[in-house]
Amino acid sequence: MTRQNQSMITEFILIGFSKLGDLQILLFFIFLLVYLTTLTANATSMTVVWLDRTLHTPMYFFLFVLSCSETCYTLVIVPKMLTNLLSASQTISFFGCAAQLFFFVGLACTNCFLIAVMGYDRYVAICNPLNYTLVVSRATCVQLVLASSCCGFLISVVVNVLVFSVPFCASNQINHFFCDISPVMKLGCTDTNLKEMVIFFLSILVLLVPFLLIFISYVFIVSTILKIASAEGQRKAFATCASHLTVVIVHYGCASFIYLRPTSLYSSDKDRLVAVTYTVITPLLNPLVYTLRNKEVKTALSKVLST
């Protein structure tokens, strides 16, 4: 009976914001505005880094890759969400749901690892500046990006297998605006405790381990900065880290709230609000923070616009 019901499910219904009625139209325009701003900001950030040779450094190479990854990340979630806000039929096919979860988890994990790599870059630049170009060479940068992507999508494969090997025989209504891990697994009609434990362990690997490494690196960074004699040198060093720290706190904070806890504690309304933050707001925050708080990027942007 379980196999029969599982084979019958060819699509899911994304309940999302359907309970909000006419407010969905307002949400559509708000999310559309934020989404277009995100695409513009990330495209601007990538263009400036690409065109200005003074920004052809490891730090801005990682920023370029992160902006590209964040753009793809939003493409996986936001267009479908916008369509559903205006559509009476809020369905997604079984394979479409699996593909969405695969790319969402893969890109999200990649972003977590990239942010950790950017922390390592700041650590070497401030704590070991004389060997910076030797340690963080072009080849090393490419290898770190490839390793981040491979690890991210390898984890995504494991998560997808765990989630979609669950027999769905209770309902096909996902209480979320996209195919996320917990909302999909809650539709299963078998015991998923073991699979949840594996996913929880992977969440620790993706979120907690990089965050702890970043924290340790910043202990050394702050210690080194405080040894700088000039106040101007200290200010400049802190300024280069402030943007990264802002992104770290928001990115890891929101993701940890959702994924570093058991599925049984999933709260649809509160978690949906947090999910909006890390799927819609955070991708906009990254380029704005790095652009508005970074003097080199603002100078390069002015040069690009004036040519």
Question: Helices 282-292 and 58-86, interaxial angle, to 10°?
Answer: 140
Q: Report yes or no on 307 lying in a domain.
A: no
Q: Report yes or no on 65 lying in a domain.
A: yes
Q: Report yes or no on 117 lying in a domain.
A: yes
| pTM of the entire predicted model | 0.89
Alpha-carbon torsion (20, 23, 25, 31), positive or negative:
negative
Q: Report yes or no on 3 lying in a domain.
A: no
Is 13:80 a contact under the CB 8 Å cutoff? no
Residue 264: which CATH number?
1.20.1070.10
Q: How many domains does the chain have?
A: 1
pLDDT for 2 equals 43
Q: Report yes or no on 42 lying in a domain.
A: yes
Q: Report yes or no on 4 lying in a domain.
A: no
Which portions of the chain are predicted below pLDDT 70? 1-8, 170, 262-269, 291-293, 307
Residue 174 has φ and ψ, to the nearest 5°, of -90, 120
The SS3 call for residue 250 is: helix
Q: Report yes or no on 306 lying in a domain.
A: no
191: tokens are: 């015991």
pLDDT for 212 equals 92
The SS3 call for residue 95 is: helix
Q: Report yes or no on 5 lying in a domain.
A: no
Range of the domain at 25: 11-296
